[in-house]
């Protein structure tokens, strides 16, 4: 049974007239163009599984799929339509086993070290935006868990007080950027913990998809990947053992020889960055013993980036398709 997946930040998919960020709303004509353009992207690239970010409204996502003529997809959206969330769409021949929205970090987790060289403590107990954990079953009974995430934005964390972190207002942007990075790393670490638990407590293959707001290679992706043993040859025994690591799409597609600097998924604020990622457990690695799927093709759908058209996304859609491997 083949499998395909897309990660796509839809850039504020919201119904017309609904205020976003307390600042703006789509007019009816803008909304129609945005829904229509988004529908075109999905219709041209039908996937087994779509992982979306920046979905404000379940009704808006339903409009997109209706416009695309993809009426039989199963849509999974957050019930809160007052802020943006991640969402998913599942092809009709796959069974949705369970859906879970994860907002809080594990309560037993203590962010503290008493090492005299690096003594530190961090007070972070929740994700900036809920993570969607979605368990699926393929028609041939293979099971898969998706973690769809939108990690802390790259915007500096504001002090929201007159103390400006105790160093003066001239420096709060620098401190705020550091705090934003710390939160992203913390969120990635907890996501890594959730992946570890899923791999040890089930036989599911695991995919992490989403807008990680960090480059590849980068600190966030390093944390998410964990201890992934690169399998460079089929006769490498240590490289054939199942592990808990995750493999970035570019790791699986090493034969494409795409330089990391050419992996661009975002164009905005005068920057071109790689923010949108797909990471896979060993079940998707063609050289892993007992792998279930093997990469067939992948694409960055990015021709629209930098167009300046308000109704298009400022993110590329990243897609990957796999052929069935061993069961």
Q: How confident is the model at residue 283 (pLDDT cuts 50, 70, 90)?
A: very high
When the pLDDT of each residue in the chain is averaged and rounded to a whole number, the result is: 92
Residues in CB range of 115: below 8 A, 6 or more apart: none
Q: Is the peptide bond before 217 cis (omega within 30 degrees of 0)?
A: yes
User: What does the pLDDT average to over 224-249?
Assistant: 70
Could you tell me which residues are beta bridge partners of residue 143?
137
Structure tokens at 275: 């923010």
Maximum CA extent, the chain: 61
Q: Is the dihedral of CA 320, 324, 325, 327 positive or negative?
A: positive
Q: For residue 231, what pLDDT is reported?
A: 59
Confidence of residue 256 (pLDDT cuts 50, 70, 90): low
Structural domains for the chain: 3-324 (3.60.10.10)
β-bridge pairing 74-77 and 85-90? antiparallel
Residue carrying the six token digits 């007070």: 123
Lowest mean pLDDT among 80-84, 135-139, 150-154, 234-238: 234-238
Residue 42 CB contacts under 8 Å (≥ 6 apart), including other chains: 50, 64, 65, 68, 70
- pLDDT at position 261: 66
Cα 182 to Cα 136, 160, 310: the distances in Å are 32, 18, 31
Determine the Cα angle at 88 with ends 86 and 91, to 5°: 175
User: Are the beta carbons of 252 and 281 closer than 8 angstroms?
Assistant: no
pLDDT in tens, 90-129: 999 999 999 999 999 999 999 999 999 999 998 999 999 9
Greater confidence (138 vs 229) lies with: 138
Residue 259 confidence class, pLDDT cut points 50, 70, 90: low
pLDDT of residue 169: 87
Burial class (CB in 10 A: 0-12, 13-18, 19+), 85: buried
Summarize the confidence of residues 191-196 as an average pLDDT.
Answer: 97
**pLDDT of the residue at 326:** 57
Phi, psi of 26 (to 5 degrees): -75, 140
Query: pLDDT higher for 129 or 232?
Result: 129
Instruction: Tell me the sheet residues that pair with 78.
Output: none
SS3 85: strand
Q: What confidence tens digit (pLDDT) does each residue in 289-324 have?
A: 889 999 999 999 999 998 889 999 999 999 999 998
Q: What is the pLDDT of residue 262?
A: 78
Q: Contact 87/149 with Cβ under 8 angstroms?
A: no
Inter-helix orientation angle 28-44/58-68, to 10°: 60
pLDDT of residue 209: 98
Q: Which of 25-34, 203-212, 236-245, 271-280 has the lowest mean pLDDT?
A: 236-245
Residue 114 burial (C-beta neighbours within 10 Å; 0-12, 13-18, 19+): exposed
Given pLDDT bands bounded at 50, 70 and 90, which one contains residue 217? Answer: confident
Q: pLDDT confidence of 232, banded at 50, 70, 90?
A: low
Is the model's pLDDT at 286 over the cut of 90? Answer: no
Residue 41 β-bridge partners: none
pLDDT digits (tens, 9 = 90+) for 21-38: 999 999 999 999 999 999
Tokens 């996501």 — which residue?
Answer: 191
The pLDDT value given to residue 83: 95
Q: Which residue has the tokens 């829904």?
A: 35
Of 76, 169, 200, the closest CA to residue 130 belongs to 76
Please give the residue that has the higher pLDDT: either 251 or 194. Answer: 194
Q: Tens digits of per-residue pLDDT, 167-193?
A: 988 999 999 999 999 999 999 999 999
Q: Which of 8-12, 77-81, 260-264 has the lowest mean pLDDT?
A: 260-264
Q: Please say if the pLDDT value at position 50 is more than 60.
A: yes
What angle (nearest 5°) sits at the alpha carbon of residue 60, between those of residues 35 and 187?
105
What gap in Å lies between CA 312 and CA 37, rounded to an integer? 7
pTM of the model: 0.94
Query: At 189, which helix (H) or strand (E)?
Result: helix 172-201
**Cα(78)–Cα(57) distance, rounded to whole angstroms?**
8
The residue written with tokens 């992948």 in the block is: 298
The reported pLDDT for the residue numbered 236 is 53
- Bridge partners for 53 per DSSP: 9
């Amino acid at each position: 049974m083949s499998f395909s997946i897309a990660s796509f930040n839809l850039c504020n998919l919201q119904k017309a007239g609904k205020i976003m960020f307390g600042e703006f709303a789509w007019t009816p004509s803008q909304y129609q163009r945005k829904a229509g353009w988004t529908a075109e992207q999905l219709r041209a690239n039908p996937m087994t599984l779509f992982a979306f970010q920046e979905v404000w409204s379940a009704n808006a996502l339903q409009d997109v799929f209706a416009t695309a003529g993809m009426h039989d997809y199963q849509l999974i959206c957050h019930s809160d339509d007052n802020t943006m969330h991640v969402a998913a769409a599942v092809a009709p021949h796959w069974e949705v086993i369970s859906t879970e929205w994860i907002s809080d970090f594990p309560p037993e987790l203590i962010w503290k070290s008493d090492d005299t060289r690096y003594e530190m403590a961090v007070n972070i107990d929740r994700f900036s935006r809920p993570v969607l954990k979605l368990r699926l079953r393929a028609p041939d009974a293979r099971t898969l868990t998706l973690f769809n995430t939108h990690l802390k934005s790259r915007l500096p964390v504001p002090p929201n007080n007159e103390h400006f972190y105790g160093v003066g207002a001239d420096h709060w942007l620098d401190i705020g950027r550091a705090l934003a990075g710390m939160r992203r790393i913390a969120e990635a670490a907890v996501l890594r913990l959730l992946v570890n638990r899923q791999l040890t407590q089930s036989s599911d293959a695991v995919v992490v998809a989403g807008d990680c707001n960090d480059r590849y290679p980068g600190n966030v992706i390093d944390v998410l990947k964990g201890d992934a043993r690169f399998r460079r040859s089929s006769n490498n025994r240590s490289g054939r053992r199942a592990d808990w690591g995750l493999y970035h799409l570019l790791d699986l597609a090493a034969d494409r020889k795409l330089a990391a600097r050419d992996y661009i998924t975002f164009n905005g604020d005068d920057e071109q960055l790689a923010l949108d990622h797909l990471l896979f457990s060993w079940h998707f690695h063609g050289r892993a013993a007992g792998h279930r799927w093997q990469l067939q093709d992948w694409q960055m759908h990015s021709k629209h980036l930098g167009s300046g058209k308000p109704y298009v996304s400022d993110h590329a859609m990243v897609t990957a398709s796999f052929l069935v491997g061993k069961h």
